[in-house]
Every structure is written in structure tokens, then in C-alpha cells.
Amino acid sequence: MKRGTQKLSHYRKRGEVNMVDVSQKQVTARTAVATGFVKMSPQVVRAVKRLHNPKGNPLEVARIAGIAAVKRTAEWIPLCHPLPLTYIDVTARLCKNGIELQSRVTATAQTGVEMEALVGVTAAALTVYDMCKAIDKSMEISDIRLLQKTGGKSGDYFARVSKKMTRTRAGQLHSPARS
């Protein structure tokens, strides 16, 4: 379908919402990667770095929260299909001005895992905020976006990445300005 002629898939002709029937779609390997950022004051960054946080290590708790949320995406997003996930990885990396988050999700299914990756990184960001709000409530959650998706009928998608973005040894995208 040409760009601009696409229609929203979750609506019937009269405008009622509809869960898309994927029963006729091919089962294919699918992967999605999403990122997000929690901007923090230097005080919060220092506390996280020194693990001086009354609730524990926010990086590790955020990672676990993200993984748990990915598995429950169909409960968060009403018209998402529950999927047989085969891999989930959520990472949290402390930078000079906050925490970079990334979620990678794979499945062999009839529909994609973009929402699962986005939910994972969002839950991780919210968890970082929850764990650090006692120190400073002015943190900002930003830059939540889909970086890539592979597999399925619509083909692969790779977001435009700023020239300032680079990859770590593990293949994770990050901004050296935040390092």
C-alpha cells in the first residue's frame, strides 16, 4: 500500500474498534527494538552511580520491570494480541545526565512485537522514575521510540538515527553526548 493511502487497521467501517484478525497471516520471526531516556539531575546520577538509593539499584529493578511488562503487553494495550515471546532483553545504562533504556523483543508469530518493545522500555523508564523520585521529582522521561522492527508482511523498519548516535560493543544504540 502506498504511503498516505494506508488506513487504521483497528477500526470497522462505522468506526467501532476491532481487534485485527491475524489468523490468515504467516507465522514469521519478528524482532523489535525500542529506546527511551530518563533525564536526571547530577545529584540523582551520583546517587544511582553510588547505589545510594533508598529503594535499591534502579538500573536492575527497571530492567526486571521492563521484562515483566513486555510479557503483559496485551493487558496494557487493549487491542494487542498475546504473543508467544521467545526473547526479551531490557538494558539500562547510566550516562552523565540520566539513564538510557533499550528493549529488544523477539517472537515467532503472526503479528509483530513493536508494542511489546515499547511497553518494556516505558515500564523501565517509569520504574527508574519511581525508584529515584525521593531524591528529585523533576526527572524527565523522553525519547521513547521504535528503533527497528523486522519480519512480517510490512517488511523491516529502521528509524533514522542521529549522526550523534553510536553503537556499543553489544550493539545497543546510544548518544555519546549522554555518556
Enzyme catalytic residues: 130
Q: How many whole angstroms separate alpha carbon 105 and alpha carbon 160?
A: 20
C-alpha triplet 6, 113, 131: angle, nearest 5°: 120
Q: How many whole angstroms separate alpha carbon 39 and alpha carbon 4?
A: 35
- β-partners of residue 174 are 166
Residue ranges with strand state E in 4-139? 28-39, 85-95, 98-109
Identity of residue 150: T
Torsions phi, psi for 111 (to 5 deg): -145, 160
The DSSP code sequence of 54-92 is TT--HHHHHHHHHHHHHTTHHHHSTTPPP--EEEEEEEE
For 84, the grid coordinates are: 508467544
